Structure 1
Amino acid sequence: MEALLLTLAVVATMANAVVYGTDVFSALVQRPAMAHVDDAALTSAMGQIHRFGDRRMPVPGVFGLVATVGTAAVAGFEGKTTPSVASGVAALALVVWLAIYNKVSAPVNKELTGAALDCRVAPDARGLQRTWDSVINVRVLLQAVALGGMCVALAAS
């Protein structure tokens, strides 16, 4: 069981780090860069980014959430309180992240992707981007909590 616990914790940490790093890049680089382009460039660039991101990012996201929940379950079964609680907190942070993504980010992604694929400027492209930007910092924070929780779970395992 020890090997399973460590394997799940490592997979969860690595997969969640991919999503965390993507969100950090978006907050630190993408957001300010997109503020300096016109609406056509914003629609095209962000639409294409979301086109590929929404197809590819679920893979590490699902692996991360499943492995995080698995870590909490195995640690709990083994009676390891610290890793169980830490990975449980991480799982909760990921579920909240997913809810915010589905409620706020995904609809914006869909609109910008559709406009980019149709080679048109999204109506209110700037407003759509502001909506997306409005949750990126909280998404980063939730991913940081999840990644920190998994680091604690690993260290205490």
Structure 2
Amino acid sequence: MSTLATAAALVAIATTGIIYGTDIFAALVLRPAAVGAADASVADLLGRVHEYGDRRLPAPGTVALIATALVTATSHNAARIGSAIALAALLAWLAIYSRISAPINKQLRAAAANHTVPPDTRALQQRWDSVIWTRAALQSLALAGLLTAVLTR
């Protein structure tokens, strides 16, 4: 693995780790906490959480994708296979996030900003919850692929 590929892999690991940690926290802590909370609390607090997350997390997510693509393009053999698996996992994560999570985040952000409670708050949260473990698993797979790329150079 070249110095460029190694540096890109380390950047990809660090930035993927940010999203991985966020999704694991959401799966282990936010999801079960929201289940027991009142709809107004879910709409307000999670709307505000998504407000900050949707504004701040695209940067590390984008860097992770670009760095992982760079590792894939500049590596050979097992390192390329590991980074290609990571890239596929990140792209699958992005598809799920874009199609399911982001529209829900937008609705909850709007509710929090307007101090309203959507009548379907519970259904929105259940739909969001239904993909968080898949998102976390895809981030885990991405990290494993990137670690494989670094360790098999």
TM-score category by the smaller chain? over 0.9
Match of 2:98 among 93, 99, 102: 102
Distance 1:41 1:23 in 2: 20
Q: Which residue of 1 aligns with 2:13?
A: 13
Cα deviation, residue 35, structure 1: 1.0
- Other-structure match for 1:129: 125
Deviation readout 1:62-101 (Å, 9 max, x if unpaired): 00010001000010xxxx2100011001000100100000
Aligned counterpart, 2:67: 67
Aligned pairs (5 A) from 1:1-157: 2-75=2-75, 80-157=76-153
Q: How far has the Cα of 1:123 moved from its partner?
A: 2.2
Q: Tell me, what secondary structure is at the counterpart of 2:149?
A: helix
Q: Which runs of 5+ in 1 are unaligned?
A: none
Aligned residue identity for 2:135: R
Count of residues paired in the alignment: 153
Q: What's the TM-score, normalizing by structure 2?
A: 0.98
Inter-partner Cα distance in structure 2 for 1:32 and 1:95: 27
Percent identical among aligned pairs is 43
* TM-fit CA distance, 1:3: 1.3
One-letter amino acid of the counterpart of residue 102, structure 1? S
- Residue type matched to 1:68 in 2? T
1:49 Cα offset (Å): 0.3
d(CA) in 1 for partners of 2:12, 2:69: 9
After superposition, give the CA deviation of every residue in 1:97-128 in whole Å (9 maximum; x if it has no partner): 00000000000000000000001112210100
- Compute the RMSD of aligned alpha carbons: 0.8
Q: In the alignment, residue 114 of structure 1 is paired with which amino acid?
A: A
Counterpart of 1:42 in structure 2: which amino acid? V
Amino acid across the alignment from 1:14: A
Matched letter for residue 37 of structure 1: A
Cα offset for 1:40? 0.5
How far 1:140 moved relative to its partner? 0.7
Task: List, as ranges, runs of 4+ consecutive aligned residues in structure 1 with deviation greater than 2 Å.
Answer: none
Secondary structure of 1:33's aligned partner: helix
